Amino acid sequence: MQGQGLPGFRDFYPDDLALRNHIFATWRRVAARYGFEEYDGPPLEPLDLYTQKSGEEIIGQLYEFTDKGDRRVALRPEMTPTLARMVGARAQALKKPIRWFSIPQLFRYERQQRGRLREHFQLNMDLIGEAGPLADAELMAAALDIMRAFGLGPDTVRMRISDRRVLRALLLGHGVTEDQLPAAYAAIDKSERDPRDVIAQRLAKGGFTDRARDGVFQVAGLKGLNAVNGALAEVAATDAGGPLGEAVGALEAMGLRDFVEVDLTIVRGLAYYTGIVFELFDAAKSLRAICGGGRYDGLLKALGGVDLPALGFGMGDVVLTELLRERKAAFDPPSRLDAFLVAVSGEDVAAVLRLAHDLRDRDVGVEYGLRHAALRKQLELAAARGAPRAIIIGPEEREAGVVVVRDLNGGTEERVPVASLLNGYFR
């Protein structure tokens, strides 16, 4: 159909864009509170920046092509490779730890479904150069404080936390081999979605012993820090739980413990995660993850040539927008207008034009009818535009050097000298 947008891409009408801008402003405000600096990179990158990290199979998910310089390029599907390239270029000069955030538009050619489109905007927050678990807690706290800034509490959103080091220790302790760990992680990751017997069959085909298969299901069923610590004690691997316990304790000290669940089914599918991983969901689990991330020590060395510990998360705008609309989270789009100017008669139009221009010079947002109409019609348009007040100018007002300011919400009126209107009335 002529004029129809591409599937998976969005048009943002003014109301939609107002909500998007509200989301962006909240992201930026909380990130600044945590001392993060904003950066950005190009939306088009060399294709091998992504195949180096994810393998040739990722090409099927990308918008990729050969440019006029005969270079293989792709629209960015994620921000971490760009971040690694940028940090690697200036690693020696950058003060550690590096606290950076970005709000890129990302593109992936994949099947559309609820909460997933072919383009979206995403908040990326990354903390580079700090290996201790307080850094993990800091990043998780930032994600939770973003939820709180939107008016969402622990009854609405929950953060589920795990640790790859804990998973590895427990699985090895139950007879899973090193080579079988990726398959075990995948099984745990899908344990809430796929039937147990289906998962068991996959593991059996992968050469898992009965003991190892049972161990995978036991690990997937662990909930809560005490249960995890008890399971680690049984396999003589209590040290593996230290960072997770310290991070959860830090979140508790911040007053955020009510949001947190220790849940070992959170694996994060990407192989480069090395420590604590987490995902943020709506409490009813009716939507996809609001955000996800974790520690990826080693990735910067692989992509950017600099060996620095690092962790980060991504929070997309698609699921978050759905959540805010479902929960009717408080959001009043800021009015672009401070006033609507009304001319009583055709002879008053010139005075309205002059006053409108003088007010705009003072950064006051005003509008007026572009065609003179009856007073009632002009006031109806003022209300439709969402103006909080109407400034009415008629022959008597022009003669006296005043205007009538009508409160369009309360219905009250007052006569205000034009000089006062231009000098501090709207502050």
pLDDT at residue 351, rounded to an integer: 96
Indicate the average pLDDT of the chain: 93
Express each pLDDT in 300-327 by its tens digit: 888 888 899 999 999 999 999 999 998 8
- Contact between 163 and 169 under an 8 Å Cβ cutoff? The reply is no
The SS3 of residue 389 is: strand
Closest by Cα among 268, 276, 284 to 157: 284
285 — pLDDT class (breaks 50, 70, 90): confident
Q: Kindly state the average pLDDT of the residues 359-372.
A: 93
Alpha carbon separation from 168 to 126, 203, 214, 221, 267 (Å, rounded):
24, 16, 15, 15, 11
The predicted-structure confidence for 239-269, as pLDDT tens digits, reads as follows: 999 999 999 999 999 999 999 999 999 998 7
Whether the per-residue pLDDT at 328 is higher than 80: the answer is no
Q: Give the global pTM.
A: 0.89
Distance CA 401, CA 73 (A): 64
Q: What integer pLDDT is reported at residue 226 of this predicted model?
A: 95
67 CB-contact burial (10 Å; exposed 0-12 / middle 13-18 / buried 19+) = exposed
pLDDT digits (tens, 9 = 90+) for 404-421: 999 999 989 999 999 999
pLDDT of residue 223: 93
pLDDT in tens, 145-165: 999 999 999 999 999 999 999
Q: How confident is the model at residue 53 (pLDDT cuts 50, 70, 90)?
A: confident
DSSP secondary structure of 223-274: BSHHHHHHHHHHTT-GGGGHHHHHHHHHHHHTT-GGGEEEBTT---S-TT--
Q: Per-residue pLDDT for 333 more than 80?
A: no
Q: What percent of the chain is modeled with pLDDT above 70?
A: 98
Distances from the Cα of 331 to the Cα of 26, 35, 82, 292, angstroms? 11, 25, 33, 25
Q: In this model, does residue 56 exceed pLDDT 90?
A: no
Residue 330 clears pLDDT 70, i.e. is over it: no
- Per-residue pLDDT at 99 exceeds 90: yes
Identify the pLDDT of residue 329: 66
Residues 52, 77 contacting (CB under 8 angstroms): no
**Which pLDDT belongs to residue 2?**
64
User: 356 is written with which tokens?
Assistant: 């409108």
Nearest to 119 by CA among 317, 303, 353, 265: 317
Would you say residue 65 has pLDDT above 90?
yes
**pLDDT band for position 284 (50/70/90)?**
confident
pLDDT score of 245: 96
Confidence (pLDDT) at 327: 81
- The reported pLDDT for the residue numbered 302 is 85
Q: What is the mean pLDDT of residues 24-46?
A: 97
Is residue 285 classed as helix, strand or coil in its secondary structure? coil
For residue 205, count other CB atoms closer than 10 A to its CB.
9
- According to DSSP, the β-strands at 105-107 and 291-295 are unpaired
